[in-house]
Each structure stands twice: as structure tokens, then as C-alpha cells.
Amino acid sequence: MPAIKKTCISIRMNTTDYTLTSPLSASTQQSRPLLALTIVWHPDTTRIGEQFIDSGAQTENTIELGRFSPLFRPTLGDALPIGYSGVSREPTRIVRMPNDQIKISPPTSRMIVEVNGQVIEQAIELSPEQVEAGVIIGLGRTIFVCLHWMRCLPKHNPVVGFIGVSSAAIMTRDLIRLAACNQSPVLLLGETGTGKEVAAQAIHNLSPRATHKMISVNMAALNESLAAADLFGASKGAYTGAQSARNGFFFEAQNSTLFLDEIGNTPSAVQPMLLRVLETNEYRPLGASRDQNSTARLITATDQDLYHSSFNHALVRRLESFVIRIPPLRARREDIGLLILHVLKHNQVDGISAAQLPTHFISEMLNFEWPGNIRQLANVFKRALLSLQMGEQLQLARMVETPRIAATDSAALRQISSVNNTLVPPLNPFESTIEKPAVERKKLRDLTEDDVISALNRHQWTIQYAADELGISRPSMYKLIEANRQIRRVEQIPFEEIKLQLNETKNNVEQCAALLKTPSEALRRHLRGLGVLN
């Protein structure tokens, strides 16, 4: 392709900020990966995406994960501990052993610790491959962190639309910036819904061609008989119905970028024509007597295997001048919290904020495999926001179709056996990661006051979890709480009694709520209103 004279100013290759890998990143890739913890959900949503990365200096390291340690750092800014009163001061211990096995030991406190959505009460061991799949650790059913490997160090390399703090996201953004500063054809490979079009738009926006509109074409949507005319144009009378000359997409993309999505669906008759454009920068409209020169920069994308198909292999070799593999969402589980926030920000629903999202639903989203990747996550979450606005109880299993696919390696690795606290493959990945045994829905009149108290006690006086166990809706649970003579309204409890129990439990709100016999959410709001909690 002819060189574009405008200088590329969107990337500075002489700094470590935007080079493909900084020296430290390169050394990390060649040696043991670093063990990292990323906050994927926090009541203070500004904390989501902050990371703690173990130095890896010792053969065997212990990370103490609790309220005051370790310190989590945003990409830009100061490091802070989790600092949330619902997280025990006594830490959950994470030990990296010499063979890169990971041992997680829950604290002796009453705080519930979950690993991949399942409560653990004793130490469990994880293999390096299981950490590779991303391990979601829930603390007190409020804070969620992802335990994972990092193969490059965090850095500030923002690309509009491509969000994440994972190694995969960082390195993909580096490749996007690198691709933006040359004119080679780019081939984007990745599963459906991973963000290939977002990457293509980012390459265009960061390139000297950004002053022109990128032309996007879905090759799967082209009429096979008219595909050549659509792409290259046609003169009057070139085919039946061609009553006037027409320009094709290559003409529209002059001095700009032409993005051909679903390139694997290109009609076989058109593939040699594309090959000629890539080899000579020339094409001939249908019925024309002379060639035209193309100055379009080509970006293509597919979720198909072009290398083991009938697709024109010579064309594949031309398209793969610069290949970027967009990672699936299951390979960057630590980014899910940030993606949820992004969807929430761009799909505002009246009266719905992040604070109102049930943490059990967040846990389900963090632990799901997302075969449809980011597109599926966004669509499901939009439906969840509307359901929440209508007062419906959120359950992920009702919002996603059971996949008709075999268990993925990631899904198999993330299951915990309660027998020996090891991770084992599930019989059905969907049922094991999302669907729980059907809860028998009971009539309100059949539930006694003691049934309600027992359920609340088992779930640290968290209303949603107790309601789920009883098989009733959250509004129904509120009615039972209101009518229960054993449960106290927090406004009617003397402050001195609250203060006494809060001191007794060392500011653990859930434990304090259990002693006071009042819902933990209401107690937390009350304490914040009094200025006792931040």
C-alpha cells in the first residue's frame, strides 16, 4: 500500500509506555509469571481493577489477603488496602509453592470465603493451570478478587473501547498501537464477541487515517453474485440491473481503512480479486476497461480457522502480515468487573446503580464461562438491569441459554470437589458453574419465624442469600422480616448497644448484625448515616 505522508503521532516508540513490551515485561514473559490479585468487585466501584502483584523474588511466597493487606494499586495512583469492614482483619493466606502450586487457606474468623463460587472451610490447592483460568475469591460475599498470573507489568496504555488490566488486554492494546503505525494488512483472529471490530476501529482511530471514516463491511452479509460489484464497483451495464455506474467499498475507503469482518465467508470467486489488490494495490470494477488504484488500508477479522479450510491460502498469507489474536473473555477473567462497570455506565437505567446489584448475581457473572464473550456479557447485563428495574429476582441461569458444547478447559479447571478440596472437571459445565439444584418455592404461610431466623443466621443476615435458600423472592423476604417478632428494626436498637456489639465483633458488620438480629444491609446503611462507617 502507498505510504501515507502524515506522521504517526499517536504512539511514541522511544518510551517504555507504548512499546510492545517494556524491559521488565519482556523478562517477565521469559521467566516465571507473577502472581497477581485484581479487585473485580468492591462496594466502592472506583476500586475495581486495582491490582496487587507479588514480586516473585522468593521461591515460596505467602500473600495475606485481608482488610488491611496487601496494598492494591490502580494503573495511575496510590496503593490502598481493601479497607472494607465486611472483610476480616484476619487474612486469607495464599501460598505460592516452588512448583507454582497455590494453596489457599481461609481465616479462622466467621467471614465466608468462596473460591469460584463455592464456600471453602479448609485449605485447598490449585495447580498452575487452574490459576491460569482465573480464580475468583469472594470475601464476606461482598468483595471479589481474581487470583491470576501476570506475564507483563501493568502500564498506562489506554485504547478507547478496549478495556482491561489483564496481561492479555495490555499486550493486545500494545499490538493495536503498533499496528496503527504501519500500513500492513491486519488480520484479527478471535472468537465471536471478543471485540474484533472494536480493535479494528481502534487501529484506525490511532492511525494517520483517522481523519477519514473507516468503512466496515460484513462479508457474510454480501450477496454472493454481487459481492465483486459491492467491493470493487461496476460500470453501467456490467450485469443485469446495473443501470448506472457504481463505486465499491474499496473506492469509498480511499486514504482510509477498509474493515472486512467475517473474512472467512468471502465468496470463493472474490478471493483472487482481493489477493490482487493486496499484491498490486490495483483492482478493476466490473465491466470497466481500466484498473483503479487503491490507497485503502485493509483490516480483516474472522472467528474461523482459515488455515485448515478451503479458503485461498495465498490470500491468507497476504492477510497475515500483522496478526492480532483477540483473547476470549475466559482468558481475562480479571477484566470482567471493569467490563460490567463499562456496560453499566453506557446503559443507564433510572434508579439503578452499582450498589444495587445483588452480589450473588455479580458472583455468578464473574464465575460464568461466557462462550459468547464480551458481547454476550453486555447483552445479559442489559437484560439484568431491566429486570432489576422491574423488581425481579436476578438469576443468571434464567438469562443465558444452556450451551450445547462440551466442557471448555477453563470450565473444567474451575470446579471444586467438596470431598477433597481439589478442582475436578464437572459433568456439565453450565450446570456446575451456574445452575444450582432447584430450590423448592414455598408459600409464605408455610414459613415459620424460626425458618427465617435460621436462614438469616446461615447467611450472616444477608437478605438475598437467605431468600434464595428459602426459595422466595426478596420482596417476600422483606414481608417475613417485617412480621417476624424476633427480628429488630435497626432504628429501634439503642446506639450504645450497636456500638458495644460492633466493638465486640471488631467492626465486622455481618457478625454484629447476627448478634443484634437485624439485617446486615440495613445495619450498614444505618452506621454510614451515623458516620461510623465510610
Q: If you write DSSP's letter for every residue of 515-528 in order, what string do you get? A: HHTS-HHHHHHHHH
Among residues 325, 352, 367, the one where a domain terminates is: 325
Q: Indicate whether 74 and 193 sit together in one domain.
A: no
Closest CA to 450 of 408, 476, 484: 484
Domain span at 190: 167-235+247-325
Q: Indicate whether 186 and 309 sit together in one domain.
A: yes
Q: Indicate whether 289 and 226 sit together in one domain.
A: yes
Q: Indicate whether 178 and 312 sit together in one domain.
A: yes
Query: What pLDDT was estimated at residue 12?
Result: 35
Among residues 92, 123, 150, the one where a domain terminates is: 150
Q: What is the pLDDT of residues 34-59, one digit of tens each?
A: 999 999 999 999 999 999 999 766 65
Confidence of residue 409 (pLDDT cuts 50, 70, 90): low
- For residue 124, the domain's CATH number is 2.60.200.20
Pairing mode, strands 186-189 and 297-302: parallel
Q: Indicate whether 174 and 275 sit together in one domain.
A: yes
**What's the rounded Cα separation, in Å, for the pair 117 and 92?**
16
Q: Indicate whether 178 and 112 sit together in one domain.
A: no
3-state helix vs strand vs coil in the chain, percent to 5 = 40, 15, 45
Determine what percent of the chain is predicted with pLDDT higher than 70: 83
Q: Indicate whether 125 and 175 sit together in one domain.
A: no
Residue 191 Cα distances to 163, 304, 305, angstroms: 17, 8, 10
**What's the rounded Cα separation, in Å, for the pair 284 and 24?**
50
Q: What is the pLDDT of residues 254-305, one digit of tens each?
A: 999 999 999 999 999 999 999 999 999 999 888 878 899 999 999 999 999 9
- For the residues 248-254, what does the mean pLDDT come to? 95
Q: Indicate whether 267 and 309 sit together in one domain.
A: yes
Q: What is the pLDDT of residues 185-197, one digit of tens each?
A: 999 999 999 999 9
| Sequence-ordered alpha helix ranges (H) in 68-190 | 128-132, 167-180
**What's the rounded Cα separation, in Å, for the pair 305 and 533?**
54
pTM to 2 decimal places: 0.76
Q: Indicate whether 103 and 229 sit together in one domain.
A: no
Given the C-alpha cell 453486555, which residue does it identify? 378
Return the higher-pLDDT residue of 347 and 132. 132
Pairing mode, strands 322-325 and 186-189: parallel
State the cell numbers at 255.
486514504
Q: Indicate whether 225 and 190 sit together in one domain.
A: yes
As a dihedral over the C-alpha atoms of residue 15, residue 20, residue 21, residue 22, rounded to 10 degrees, the angle is 0
